[in-house]
Amino acid sequence: MRTRIVAGNWKMNTLPSEGVVLAKEINQYFKSKDKDAKIIICPPYTHLYEIANQIDQDNVELGAQNCSYEKSGAYTGEISADMLKNLGVKWVIIGHSERRSYYNESDEILFEKVQRVFESELNPIFCCGEVLEQRNNKNHFKVVKTQLENVVFKLNESELKKMIIAYEPVWAIGTGITASPGQAQEMHAFIRKTIAEKFGNNIAESIPLLYGGSCKPNNAKELFGQDDVDGGLIGGASLKANDFIEIVKA
Ligand code: 13P
């Protein structure tokens, strides 16, 4: 059985004081409950120190949304993987489509970032996914395969065992349009097959594949019910404790 995971990507939302309240609500709810899923929350950088002190990471784990591809030095405004590690962060989202498109993060840069994440003994949540035009042109499998080849294929097996891959069709992010369970399953099965061809079945079967893109309490169960969908990377619905909790329960 693969680990079930629900991760919340808060993006640039909530003030630090609000974020602490949200994190504590989620932590409190799951504190004394048996749960089938690993829960990860990824608040903005400014929230991490306080939230790390306020939650129990055996219960809810902490992730960041990005890190620098440099290790340290004169890079004004950047945050290194070592800094995140020192705060108690465990996960780092790398390659989110918003970073790829708004901040021109290329596969080369993303590969460097993943290297820094592993060097700091953190774990990447690596995102891949196509834009609508690529899907309409039936290029979506090719696009996702190239994203995997340029980053994931360059890693070794022990690194693969420490990562999560999130499939996030860009056309479904923040749009209210969700990939159908069939579309999600089709791509997840393709990603698993692609990983299996390169690294073998054991690794491919063990790697958690999360779906992201307008996943909500009312569609999570059906999406998570697909064979190759091991959970979700949740944007908007991770900002309301109740919605996020309902998604975890699904
Ligand atoms: P939404 O759930 O808001 O569509 O965002 C998905 C996402 O980008 C998670 O990383």
Taking residues 209-215, report their average pLDDT.
96
Residue 145 reports pLDDT greater than 80: yes
Task: Give the total number of structural domains in the chain.
Answer: 1
Which pLDDT score, from 0 to 100, does residue 173 have?
A: 93
Taking residues 121-137, report their average pLDDT.
97
Best residue among 233, 239, 243, 244 to mutate for probing ligand 1, ranked by most atoms within 8 Å of CB: 233
Give pLDDT tens digits for 62-104.
Answer: 999 999 999 999 999 999 999 999 999 999 999 999 999 999 9
- What separation in Å is there between the alpha carbon of 74 and the centre of ligand 1? 32
- The CATH code of the domain that includes 48 is 3.20.20.70
Domain of residue 159 covers 5-12+19-249
Taking residues 165-171, report their average pLDDT.
97
- What separation in Å is there between the alpha carbon of 96 and the centre of ligand 1? 9
When pLDDT is cut at 50, 70 and 90, the band that residue 160 belongs to is very high
CB atoms within 10 A of CB 249: 16
Taking residues 198-222, report their average pLDDT.
97
Enter the pTM of the model. Answer: 0.97
- What separation in Å is there between the alpha carbon of 115 and the centre of ligand 1? 24
CB atoms within 10 A of CB 32: 7
Which pLDDT score, from 0 to 100, does residue 126 have?
A: 98
How far CA 9 is from CA of 141, 202, 250, in Å, comes to 24, 28, 18
Q: Which two tokens stand for residue 57?
A: 């990471």
